[in-house]
Amino acid sequence: MSFYRPGEGKVSGEAGPPSGRLFYGWVVVAACLLLAATLFGIRYSFGIFFKSLEVEFGWTRATTSALFSAHMLLASVFAFVGGWLLDRYGPRLVAFGMGLASGLSLLLSGLAQSAWQLYFTYSLLLALGTGGIYSLVMSTGSRWFAHRRATVLGIIGAGAGLGTMTLSPFTAWLISTHDWRVAFLILAGVAVAFVLPAALLLRKGPAEAQARSPDPASAEDHLPESGEGDFSLAQALGNRNFWLIFLTWFAYSFCLHLVLTHVVPRAKDLGIASVQAATILSVLSGLSAPSRIAVGYVADRVGKRITAILMALLHTVAMLWLMGCTELWMFYLFAIVYGLAYGGIDPPIVASIGEIFGLRKLGTIMGTLVIGWGLGAATGPYLGGLIFDLLGSYQFAFLSGALIMLLAAAFIYCLRMPRRLFSGAR
């Protein structure tokens, strides 16, 4: 099968790609999904390593959590740098470098003999390898699609859930049958084997003036466009919507990474077997994948803001339920509800970023917004571990997750954007 790229052999008024040729934007979507599945799946498997590292090095919960918190804090810094590199050099080179850094990080983590070595190999090097993944896949996908952007970004974002659903039980099995070191070494091979080929398929985006839809019935649906014009980073920083999204991502990431880091240790504390505890994370992540796609589709049609608010409130309900979970079925019910909420909140927010700020500096702007995500991801896991060490319970930690998602709903409500951005499909 040959591929169609916008602008190839086009004449005025031609609606779609030549017969039998696939619009290359969908190849980019598939590559972005694979990148997200691999790198997010590896990142979010940390909760599976948690108990093994705690025992191996004699750490407290707060200290063990700090390894991941440091990783996420550094990842937010590299996300900003990666966004700048993305706008300057394009996604192929950046993604290829991320794959090499991730493979090296996991290889060295499997060979680490002391705590400081893990902080270097995992917290620093893996942050270099995965820090820019979110802005890379989302901004690249945004450049290829416009009016159905929430749907497309939902498909790409589903990779995070699919990767975690697959790699979490696989990692748990490796640790139970071998040990945590072998698990790191094998994940290094996974990173290189999947990320590097996917990186080679990426393209920055179609030429905006020549872009055409792959759907002959709606030739304008995939034309990249800006909402209020193309912002520079300085202009974006002066826009209130930037900071509302920044705070929303902080809150969402705080709650998400609190759960991803501590739900498995919490289940194990209650006597639930390791592999069963890992399936909680798999159910949660697995359901987030179809939720991203379905909610992205709905948000494109009924409104992005109201959809995001409902998903934030569903987070709060799930976290309040988690406070009372004592049996495996209760954790599974939590995983179902939280997975739907976790998958659903992202597409409507991310889809609006390109529409608000334009595409010219989208990588840099999204990379800067991801700093808020990284700060939340660094704070949530560490605070959860610290509360457990001080009080011997996760109750107040999970309550903090519920309350902060109420704040996220308020931040989303305060967004003030052109009506068309929240009105669904035209």
- In this predicted structure, the answer to whether residue 210 has a pLDDT above a threshold of 80 is no
pLDDT given at position 207:
54
pLDDT given at position 410:
96
Chain centre distance of CA 193: 20
pLDDT given at position 153:
82
Q: Is 219 within the bounds of a domain? A: no
- Give me the amino acid identity at 25: G
Q: Is 130 within the bounds of a domain? A: yes
Q: Is 218 within the bounds of a domain? A: no
For 3, the 3-state DSSP assignment is strand
Sign of torsion over alpha carbons 24, 80, 346, 388: positive
Sign of torsion over alpha carbons 10, 12, 16, 20: negative
pLDDT given at position 227:
43
Q: Is 2 within the bounds of a domain? A: no
Give mean pLDDT, residues 60-73.
88
Q: Which of 33-37, 131-135, 361-365 has the lowest mean pLDDT?
A: 361-365
Q: Is 16 within the bounds of a domain? A: no
Q: Which residue in this structure is represented by tokens 């970023």?
A: 353
- In this predicted structure, the answer to whether residue 396 has a pLDDT above a threshold of 60 is yes
In whole numbers, what is the pLDDT of the chain averaged over residues?
Answer: 83
Provide the number of structural domains found in the chain.
1
pTM here is 0.74
Q: Is 378 within the bounds of a domain? A: yes
Taking the C-alpha atoms of residue 199 and residue 201, their distance in angstroms, rounded to an integer, is: 5
Q: What is the pLDDT of residues 300-321, one digit of tens each?
A: 788 888 999 999 999 999 999 9
- In this predicted structure, the answer to whether residue 416 has a pLDDT above a threshold of 80 is no
Share of the chain above pLDDT 90, in %: 42
Q: Is 303 within the bounds of a domain? A: yes
Q: What is the pLDDT of residues 43-55, one digit of tens each?
A: 988 888 988 998 8
Q: Is 214 within the bounds of a domain? A: no
- Give me the amino acid identity at 264: V
Q: What is the pLDDT of residues 155-209, one digit of tens each?
A: 898 888 889 888 988 998 999 999 999 999 999 999 999 999 999 999 877 753 3
The CA radius of gyration of the chain, in Å to the nearest whole number, is 21
pLDDT given at position 179:
92
CATH number for the domain spanning 274: value is: 1.20.1250.20
Greater pLDDT, 33 or 144: 33
Q: Which residue in this structure is represented by tokens 């052109």?
A: 418
Domain span at 58: 23-206+224-418
8 A C-beta contact, residue 372 and residue 246:
yes
- Give me the amino acid identity at 2: S
Read off the pLDDT band of 3 (50, 70, 90): low
pLDDT given at position 180:
94
